[in-house]
Amino acid sequence: MREAAATPAWVLLAYLISGVCFILALRGLSGPESSRRGNYTGMVGMAIAVGTTLAVHQVASIAEIAGAMLIGGGIGLITARKIQMTAMPQLVAAFHSLVGMAAVLVGAAAFLNPGAFGILDPARQILQVSRVEMGLGVAIGAITFSGSVIAFLKLNGNMSGKPILLPLRHVINLSTLAAILGLIAYFTQDQAPWVFFTVAGLSFAIGFLLIIPIGGADMPVVISMLNSYSGWAAAAMGFTLHNSAMIITGALVGSSGAILSYIMCRAMNRSFISVIAGGFGGVSASADAAAIDRPYKRGSAEDAAFLMKQADQVIIVPGYGMAVSQAQHALKEMADKLKAEGVRIKYAIHPVAGRMPGHMNVLLAEANVPYDEVFELEDINSEFAQTDVAFVIGANDVTNPAAKTDKSSPIYGMPVLDVEKARTVLFVKRSMGGVGYAGVDNELFYRDNTMMLLADAKKMVEEIVKALG
Amino acid sequence: MDFVSILSIFVLACFVGYYVVWSVTPALHTPLMSVTNAISSVIVVGALIAAAAAGSASSKWLGLVAVALASVNIFGGFAVTARMLAMYKKKERRDA
């Protein structure tokens, strides 16, 4: 505390400025134009924080630090350049795990060398309040790390997206959490290393246990939640270090992730608790079996091309299937051909389409779709009734009318796109067998105004492009 | 700084975060996640303190590893955000 009190005023101000830069970086994201400037402001804020830290501390190992930054920065830059946009959810999960691990390492370093962080009391013991902050920071960091590793493996396909349900998991999870909190409380009385490292170890374990039962479809919530955790971990470390830049950033990131989780839950009409409890997305066999016998209309690429060419307005509804088959570029080509025929094209995006918030928007932007043709659910839903063709590609549950009518459906109450109100619905789907992530059949397939286009999304769109000539 | 003033900064920053994030357009939620990722690596400040300090070799090495991890995030996070944001374009005007 003595060292912290001796911090010169300009240093405190510099950290404050850095925090303000981060606020401005997020503020910039209210529109695409201001967002690019915001991103640079964020970089400036980071440079100020790093520069200030190096300037005020006696640096005994500048060469090693420079080396660590070069290695880390190089890996980061190369990854950022090479990564495919469809793989963004995995990348973000991987980045979260690094923040979590860094928090754990900083916590451990502060525990081993508390003098350097200025958190010793006159009796050369770690300050009690710092012990709580440190314990919480390490716990949240460890949960962020192991949870993000599981999320990464599930998103990257190294691990099945199906929920893995352990017996008694709620009992195990709750008692582990209680043990972590109890140990942090005990840590204030006894700063023995075993307490500290047990907290870290148990937190790593609970991170795995918490994410394993959550199915692939709930990943948008999970990834937002881990985003939030990485913020709270940074904030807890900021408390330990009395650093306002870290506290401000932690609070920003923490609330950002929390708000995104809330938006995702609302878009699925599910409570946060039920997502965390896990188990959603196990495919029920009965829904599959019932689906097979019902009659449906099947169309060809030529039929689809003909219908869309005649239309005044076509609304394209993309979903995760479009991302999987990388159909966004072909889709843009199709839209361009239709525009040349005088057709108005719009895109409708459901908040949970894809595997992370805003995933579809990035993919469309990558394919050079202008962002003023892309609309959110509430802005476009009333337009389907005046639309000639709704072109659903790789989306399923988010178009299911059962969410509005069938009280027994697991997705009842979820806000959906009213595609069935369009004069014709063209539904691109790999086969009739599979069901959406919620494991429910989609009544939309069997309606009179629906034409099923059964093929891989990219192949189908390419054939339509050919048919448009 | 005493605990109460730190707590005040934290609580106020939570409110700022709440209002700022609600004003983010949903189309930019993926860049929001990647940029929050980059800025939460401000934890590098703690890693630098640990790496710079003399006294404990193990603490120094933990700090250095943390510096490397956070650097991946800082450079990677800002770069991938910049790459995404560069892709968001408006409709080209026909008369332009």
What is the residue type of A452?
A: M
Torsion of CA A172, A175, A178, A184, to 10 degrees: -70
Cβ proximity of A37 and A28 under 8 Å: yes
Residues of B in contact with A224 (CB under 8 A): 33
Nearest to A42 among B39, B66, B87 (CB): B39
CA distance B34 to chain A (A): 6
Structure tokens, A227: 């985003």
Chain A contact present for B8, CB below 8 A: no
Q: What ipTM, to 2 d.p.?
A: 0.93
**The length of chain A, given as a count of residues:** 469
Contact B69 A112 (CB under 8 A): no
Tokens of A103: 């928090």
Cα–Cα dist A256/A326, whole Å = 29
Nearest residue in chain B measured CA to CA from A229: B40
Is A112's CB within 8 Å of B9's CB?
Answer: no
Note whether B16 contacts A: Cβ–Cβ < 8 A. Answer: yes
- Other CB atoms closer than 10 Å to residue A162's CB: what's the count? 14
The H or E element spanning position A424 is strand A424-429
Per the CB < 8 Å rule, is B37 touching A95?
A: yes
Which has the closest alpha carbon to B54: A67, A57, A101?
Answer: A57
Contacts of A72 in chain B (CB under 8 A): 67-75
- Per the annotation, the verdict on A190 as an active-site residue is no
Best residue in B11, B16, B18, B72 for a mutation probing chain A (most A CBs within 10 Å): B72
Mean pLDDT, range B40-62, rounded to an integer: 91
Residue A277 structure tokens: 């409890």
Q: Which residues of A touch B66 (CB under 8 A)?
A: 101-102, 105-106, 109
| CA distances from residue A286 to A149, A162, A401, A412, A439 in whole angstroms, order as listed | 33, 17, 19, 18, 9
Query: Looking at the complex, does the CB of residue A248 fall below 8 Å from at least one CB of chain B?
Result: yes
pLDDT confidence of residue A59:
81
Lookup result for tokens 């490292």: A197
Contact A247 B50 (CB under 8 A): no
Chain-chain contact of A252 with B36 (C-beta, under 8 angstroms): yes
Query: Does B59 sit within 8 Å of A233, measured CB to CB?
Result: no
Return the pLDDT at A292: 54
Please report, for residues A153, A161, A334, the alpha-carbon distance to residue A158 in angstroms, rounded to integers and kept in the order given. Answer: 5, 9, 33
Q: What pLDDT was estimated at residue B77?
A: 96
Answer whether A441's CB lies under 8 Å from A308's CB.
no
* Residue B95 pLDDT: 44
**CB-CB contact of A457 with A322 (8 Å):** yes
d(CA A371, CA A374): 5
How close does chain A come to B65, measured CA to CA in Å?
7
Q: Which residues of B touch A42 (CB under 8 A)?
A: 35, 38-39, 78
Residue of chain A minimizing CA distance to B76: A76
The pair of structure tokens assigned to A84 is 């495919």
**Residues of A352-386 as b/e, b for ≥16 C-beta within 10 angstroms?**
bbbbbbbbbbbbbbbbebebebbbebeebbebbee
d(CA A274, CA A263): 15
Strands, E, within A66-144: which ranges?
Answer: none
Task: Determine the residue of chain B that is closest to A104 in CA distance.
Answer: B66
Low-confidence residues of chain A, pLDDT below 50? 1-5, 282-291
- Burial call A393-402: b when 16+ CB within 10 Å, e when fewer: bbbbbbbbbb
Contacts of B13 in chain A (CB under 8 A): 19, 247-248, 250-252
Residue for token pair 């332009």: B96
Taking one residue from A and the other from B, the number of pairs with CB-CB distance under 8 angstroms is 387
The catalytically annotated residue of A397, A406, A418, A441 is A397
The predicted pLDDT at position A436 comes to 63
pLDDT in tens, A112-137: 999 888 888 888 888 888 899 999 99
* pLDDT above 70: percentage of residues in chain A: 94
> Which chain A positions have a beta carbon within 8 Å of B37's beta carbon?
92, 95-96, 99, 227, 230, 253
CA distances from A96 to A142, A271, A386, B40, B76 (A): 11, 23, 43, 9, 12
Q: What is the mean pLDDT of residues B2-30?
A: 93
CA distance A75 to chain B (A): 6
In this prediction the pTM is 0.89
